[in-house]
Amino acid sequence: MTFLALYIISGLISYLWLNRKTKEGVQPAYGLFMLNGFGIWIVIFLWPIIIPFTVIDNAIQERELNSRRNQEEPQRVDMGREIGKLGETLTAQSPTGRVWVDGKEYESRSTRSFISKGKKIRVVGHSMDYLQIEGVDSDITHRSDRSRRKT
């Protein structure tokens, strides 16, 4: 495709630049371009330049296409395997946050308590896109306890 584009562009340049006057009038230069082999000489001299650019361009386009495919296809994780496992909170859970379970990071939702960052948790269930967790440490503040303290 690049080769054809360069061939046509060089023909247009020669048409605009090299018009030849004859007895019949102005003869377009593209006729000379096609018939006299000028185009073939351009191709022969530009071949070492055209091929590497074409190959590099195709490689770049292939990489971009692959990177888009990787971004569009989210990883599917079977969260059911994580039920019963212990982990640690990466953010405070009030009630949602992020946890680290079995070497992976997950979105999470605390079932009935506020859990501070860095506390131990147990996975008790899962929904479509998050794990349901509960705290394991004794220093978990339950919502009902917090409301009693405020009054």
54 and 96 assigned to the same domain: no
Listed residue (17, 137, 127) closest to 79, CA to CA: 127
In a domain, 78, yes or no: no
Both structure tokens of 73? 């296809």
In terms of residue numbers, what domain contains 6? 2-72
pLDDT of residue 148: 46
Q: Is 129 helix (H, G, I), strand (E, B) or coil?
A: coil
57 and 18 assigned to the same domain: yes
Enter the pTM of the model.
0.42
pLDDT of residue 31: 55
Q: Which of these three, 37, 72, 107, is where a domain ends?
A: 72
56 and 87 assigned to the same domain: no
In a domain, 51, yes or no: yes
CATH of the domain at 138: 2.40.50.140
60 and 118 assigned to the same domain: no
| Tally of structural domains, the chain | 2
CA-to-CA dists, residue 34 to 18, 30, 42, 106, angstroms: 13, 6, 11, 65
* pLDDT tens, per residue, the chain with 151 residues: 676 777 777 766 666 666 655 555 555 555 555 555 666 677 677 777 777 777 787 788 888 877 776 665 445 556 778 889 999 999 988 888 999 998 888 899 988 778 889 999 999 988 878 889 988 865 445 554 544 445 4
21 and 67 assigned to the same domain: yes
Give the chain's end-to-end CA distance (angstroms, integer): 77
In a domain, 77, yes or no: no
